[in-house]
Amino acid sequence: MTGSTGSLSGRHALVTGGGRGIGAAIARRLLADGASVTLLGRDAGALQATVQALREVAPAGAVVSFVTADIADADSVARAFAAAAEQSGPVSMLINNAGQAHSAPFLKTNAALWQRMLDVNLTGTFLCTQAALPAMLDAGWGRIVNVASTAGLIGYGYVSGYCAAKHGVIGLTRALALETAAKGVTVNAVCPGYTETDIVRDAVANIVGKTGRTETEARAELAARNPQRRLVQPEEVADAVAWLCQPSAAAITGQAIPVAGGEVMAG
């Protein structure tokens, strides 16, 4: 990694779902700005592999580590945040990136699937934010960035639970931004469109399996929602997150920013 700006030097960022995809890209980008980074997830093997890769490119003085947790379990989250603080100091930047999507028609969305979408995508964001916020308030400085989705801004068919949860994340973002506006803590959301991640690869496989389309045709179908006719790249989402974490972004709070090539025009 070259050209660390050092603008986040001395800050500690925790990225949930940090073992791959958007989370790993965010971790790499925050490291480039001098932050120490803790990855949080369930798969210790994937986290360890990503940590090793990040350590090879981390600027001098930046600490890279990981903790494991089930973000839908309050006790598990509390233990993970305590361990992260012990390793790298209080969390001053929280990136709520962990999420899960599963498609099903509404009438085939049973209560268990509905609850799982809420637990992972919304309750997990709530629990991690509750764990991180006290230290930010004590310090008088903090950044919370929730990786939502364009599904939190508009509707998509066949993912009602996911859409409902992501709409909830944006509501939480706006409410908490008002509570913390005068306390040095900003709370924002970025809302990627279809992005080159495991979730999209699963969606492509689902389309192929159910429709008989080729993988190329399925990917093109998803990319067609983006006026740029392409999938968003994880690094593009990471750049938006990193901007919101900067000290110079102190006036930006309560926003839900689409990263989607013009698919959604926020107004």
Note the residue count of the chain: 267
pLDDT at 1 over 50: no
Write out the two tokens for 236.
């593009």
Q: What band does 224 get if pLDDT is binned at 50, 70 and 90? A: confident
Residues 115-172: tens digit of each pLDDT: 999 999 999 999 999 999 999 999 999 999 999 999 999 999 999 999 999 999 999 9
Question: Rounded to an integer, what distance in angstroms lies between the CA atom of residue 238 and that of residue 201?
Answer: 19
Instruction: For residue 182, give every residue at least 6 positions away whose Cβ sits within 8 Å of its Cβ, in sequence order, or none.
Output: none
Crossing angle between the packed helical segments 234-245 and 21-32, to the nearest 10 degrees: 50
- Tell how strand 256-259 and strand 185-192 pair up: parallel
- Residue type at 175? A
Residues 91-108: tens digit of each pLDDT: 999 999 999 999 899 999
Crossing angle between the packed helical segments 124-139 and 74-88, to the nearest 10 degrees: 40
pTM of the shown model: 0.92
HSE at residue 16, side-chain half, CA atoms within 13 A, is 30
Angle at 44 between CA 41 and CA 46, to 5 degrees: 85
Question: Rounded to an integer, what distance in angstroms lies between the CA atom of residue 145 and that of residue 62?
Answer: 20
pLDDT at 232 over 50: yes
Question: Rounded to an integer, what distance in angstroms lies between the CA atom of residue 56 and that of residue 235?
Answer: 18
Question: Rounded to an integer, what distance in angstroms lies between the CA atom of residue 209 and that of residue 87?
Answer: 44
**In CATH, what number does 12-193+233-258 get?**
3.40.50.720
How large a percentage of the chain has pLDDT more than 70? 97
162 is catalytic: yes
**Which is the catalytic residue, given 156, 158, 162, 194?**
162
Q: What band does 218 get if pLDDT is binned at 50, 70 and 90? A: confident
Angle at 142 between CA 137 and CA 147, to 5 degrees: 125
Sign of the torsion angle spanned by Cα atoms 96, 101, 105, 110:
negative
- pLDDT for 198 equals 75
Residues 67-83: tens digit of each pLDDT: 999 999 999 999 999 99
- The domain segmentation of the chain, as residue ranges, is 12-193+233-258, 195-231
